[in-house]
């Protein structure tokens, strides 16, 4: 989380500093309203298109940024923050642009003093200046549509399949906003470092919008396969899907995830890989029926069905500071740990200093038995806690059962609130923030 906070703050701080150094070149009397309004329109517009450009670029899942941000899950969290920021700052930009006009119409605000025609710009700059009215109109309507699409994306009640389809439209809206920005950006900006920075952002965002609109996101990392076996655990509603790949897979480390497409109309969904890579073309996923779509999978999937896999992604790879570790899985958060257990089980010589806590409110004895056998083969300590019998796992209980917890890395995958409670409590008791690793498994 620290990396994405730093990236978020750095992006806006950089653009703000560049804007101040650029706008500050021209002396402005801010004691009068209209010069202030003009600069606020330009400043908020620069921030808004910056946020949207970065968000659009992150949406195409650039791998060079994945390790830098700490995993694709962090990438998407930053994407969400930038989307919200773009919505808020765009609303401010719209307010500075529109509300003063309404106040003038109502007679509550004096209109700006008429200026002379000034120097006539020639060439491209002159042509852009002539398109001002058109640029304002398309920008206003693009803002309304972008606001609607962003709000729908944030609503959990909006079905994923419709989110997946409508969110792509933001690429087209973004290109309209690029035209709006290019036409209305003051000419003095283009010859500055701010102008160069904005040009690079607009170019990167436009490229990403094209990739999205052409449905090329992640295409180079997709492999086709088919379902080889299905195992359903009714008590905890977990479906284990075993897939045989028909193409080359680059391999994955335990803890990573992939986007899986069972149905083209539904689109890809991210699921943790629950198998270690044995270079045999086989992948496994453990999928819990917790949503409208995943609850239907036990009835709709069949052996032999075609599947498209895109990945692997993620940096939840168990590479920590300390050799001893604590793993905490809440519910279906056990999936990435299963893959690591399989990998450790191959090493017959070494005993691994790992405590795995599996917390479940719907225990399935067959699933737990298989997990126990795998933990024994991997030579780690397994703690199974069912909510009805042992209650919820608390940070105090973790510290009690693992006395040397301060000398271990903690790896958590499960409900976000549960992870937040653990992270804050352990940090308050002395665990370095960098030693707590959490998968942010929410891609909306």
Task: Check which CATH number belongs to the domain holding 290 and give it.
Answer: 2.40.30.10
The 8 Å CB, 24+ separation contacts for 369-373 are 371/334, 371/338, 371/341
For residue 149, what are the domain limits? 2-111+122-213
Residues 186, 303 within the same domain = no
If one compares 361 and 410, the residue with the highest pLDDT of the two is: 410
Q: Given a cut of 80, is residue 306 above it in pLDDT?
A: yes
Number of structural domains (the chain) is: 3
Q: Is residue 318, in this structure, part of any structural domain at all?
A: no
Q: Is residue 116, in this structure, part of any structural domain at all?
A: no
* Integer Cα distance of 374 and 327 in angstroms: 15
Structure tokens at 97: 């642009």
Give the model's pLDDT for residue 115. 59
Residues 295, 401 within the same domain = no
Give the model's pLDDT for residue 297. 97
Give the model's pLDDT for residue 341. 94
Q: Which residue, 240, 238, 264, is CA-closest to 364?
A: 238
How far, in Å, are 22, 307, 308, 406 from residue 417 at the CA level? 43, 32, 32, 22
The mean pLDDT value of the chain amounts to 91
Strand partners, 233: 238
Residues 387, 360 within the same domain = yes
Residues 30, 130 within the same domain = yes
Least confident segment among 111-125, 201-215, 340-354, 410-424: 111-125
The domain that contains 96 carries what CATH number?
1.20.120
Contacts of 11 (CB under 8 A, 6+ apart): 50, 51, 54, 82
Residues 230, 168 within the same domain = no
Give the model's pLDDT for residue 23. 84
Residues 229, 80 within the same domain = no
How far, in Å, are 270, 285, 310, 314 from residue 243 at the CA level? 15, 8, 13, 20
Q: Is residue 117, in this structure, part of any structural domain at all?
A: no
Q: Given a cut of 60, is residue 266 above it in pLDDT?
A: yes
* Integer Cα distance of 197 and 202 in angstroms: 9
Residues 53, 197 within the same domain = yes
Residue after which a domain boundary falls, among 293, 313, 333: 313
pLDDT above 70 coverage of the chain, percent: 94
Give the model's pLDDT for residue 53. 99
Give the model's pLDDT for residue 124. 65
Give the model's pLDDT for residue 406. 93
In the numeric block, the tokens 């700052």 are attached to 89
Give the model's pLDDT for residue 350. 62
Q: Given a cut of 80, is residue 398 above it in pLDDT?
A: yes
Residues 143, 68 within the same domain = yes
Give the model's pLDDT for residue 82. 98
Confidence of residue 143 (pLDDT cuts 50, 70, 90): very high
CB 152 within 8 A of CB 163: yes
Confidence of residue 235 (pLDDT cuts 50, 70, 90): confident
Confidence of residue 132 (pLDDT cuts 50, 70, 90): confident
Give the model's pLDDT for residue 265. 87
Residues 155, 204 within the same domain = yes
Q: Is residue 320, in this structure, part of any structural domain at all?
A: no
Q: Average pLDDT, stretch 361-379?
A: 91
Residues 294, 146 within the same domain = no
* Integer Cα distance of 337 and 410 in angstroms: 12
Residues 180, 238 within the same domain = no
Confidence of residue 26 (pLDDT cuts 50, 70, 90): low
Q: Average pLDDT, stretch 169-194?
A: 94
Q: Is residue 237, in this structure, part of any structural domain at all?
A: yes
The domain that contains 347 carries what CATH number?
3.40.50.80
Give the model confidence (pLDDT) of 310-345 as tens digits: 999 999 999 888 889 999 999 999 999 999 999 998
Residue after which a domain boundary falls, among 313, 335, 359: 313
Contacts of 401 (CB under 8 A, 6+ apart): 355, 383
Contacts of 432 (CB under 8 A, 6+ apart): none
Residue after which a domain boundary falls, among 160, 187, 213: 213
Q: Given a cut of 90, is residue 258 above it in pLDDT?
A: yes
Q: Which residue, 439, 192, 181, is CA-closest to 328?
A: 439
Residues 105, 189 within the same domain = yes
Diameter over CA atoms, the chain: 85
The per-residue DSSP string of 83-119 comes to HHHHHHHHHHHHHHHHHHHHHHHTTSSPPPPP----P
Give the model confidence (pLDDT) of 158-170 as tens digits: 988 899 889 999 9
Give the model's pLDDT for residue 294. 93
Q: Given a cut of 80, is residue 119 above it in pLDDT?
A: no
Give the model's pLDDT for residue 212. 96
Give the model confidence (pLDDT) of 341-358 as tens digits: 999 988 765 667 999 999
């Amino acid at each position: 989380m620290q990396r994405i906070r730093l990236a978020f703050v750095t992006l806006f701080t950089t653009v703000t500093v560049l804007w101040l150094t650029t706008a500050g070149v021209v002396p402005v009397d801010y004691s009068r309203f209209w010069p202030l309004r003009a600069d606020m329109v330009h400043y908020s517009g620069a921030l808004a298109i910056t946020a949207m450009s970065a968000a659009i670029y992150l949406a195409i899942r650039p791998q060079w940024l994945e390790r830098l941000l700490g995993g694709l899950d962090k990438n998407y969290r930053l994407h969400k923050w930038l989307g919200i920021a773009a919505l808020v700052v765009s609303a401010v930009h719209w307010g500075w642009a529109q509300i003063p006009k309404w106040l003038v119409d109502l007679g509550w605000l004096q209109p700006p003093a008429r200026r002379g025609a000034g120097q006539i710009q020639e060439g491209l700059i002159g042509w852009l200046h002539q398109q001002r009215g058109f640029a304002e109109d398309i920008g206003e309507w693009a803002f309304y549509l972008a606001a609607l699409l962003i709000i729908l994306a944030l609503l959990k009640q909006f079905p994923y399949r419709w989110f997946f389809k409508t969110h792509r439209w933001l690429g087209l809206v973004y290109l309209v906003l690029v035209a709006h920005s290019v036409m209305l950006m003051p000419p003095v900006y283009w010859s500055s470092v701010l102008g160069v920075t904005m040009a690079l952002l607009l170019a990167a965002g436009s490229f990403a919008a094209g990739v999205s609109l052409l449905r090329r996101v992640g295409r180079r990392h997709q492999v086709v396969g088919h379902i080889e076996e299905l195992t359903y655990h009714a008590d905890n509603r977990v479906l284990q899907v075993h897939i045989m790949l028909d193409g080359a897979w680059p391999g994955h480390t335990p803890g990573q995830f992939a986007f899986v497409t069972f149905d083209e109309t539904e689109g890809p969904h991210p699921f943790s890989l629950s198998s270690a890579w044995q270079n045999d073309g086989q992948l496994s996923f453990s999928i819990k029926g917790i949503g409208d779509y995943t609850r239907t999978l036990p009835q709709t999937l069949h052996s032999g069905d075609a599947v498209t896999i895109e990945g692997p992604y993620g940096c939840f790879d168990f590479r920590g500071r300390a050799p001893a570790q604590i793993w905490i899985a809440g519910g279906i958060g056990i999936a990435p740990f299963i893959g690591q257990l399989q990998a450790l089980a191959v090493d017959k010589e070494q005993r691994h200093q790992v405590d795995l806590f599996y917390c479940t409110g719907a225990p399935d004895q067959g699933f737990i038995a298989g997990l126990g056998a795998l933990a024994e083969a991997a030579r780690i300590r397994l703690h199974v806690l069912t909510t009805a019998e042992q209650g919820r796992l608390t940070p105090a209980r973790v510290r009690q059962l693992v006395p040397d917890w301060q000398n271990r890395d903690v790896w958590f995958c499960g409900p976000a609130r549960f992870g937040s409670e653990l992270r804050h409590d352990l940090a308050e008791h002395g665990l370095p923030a960098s030693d707590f690793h959490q998968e942010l498994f929410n891609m909306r």
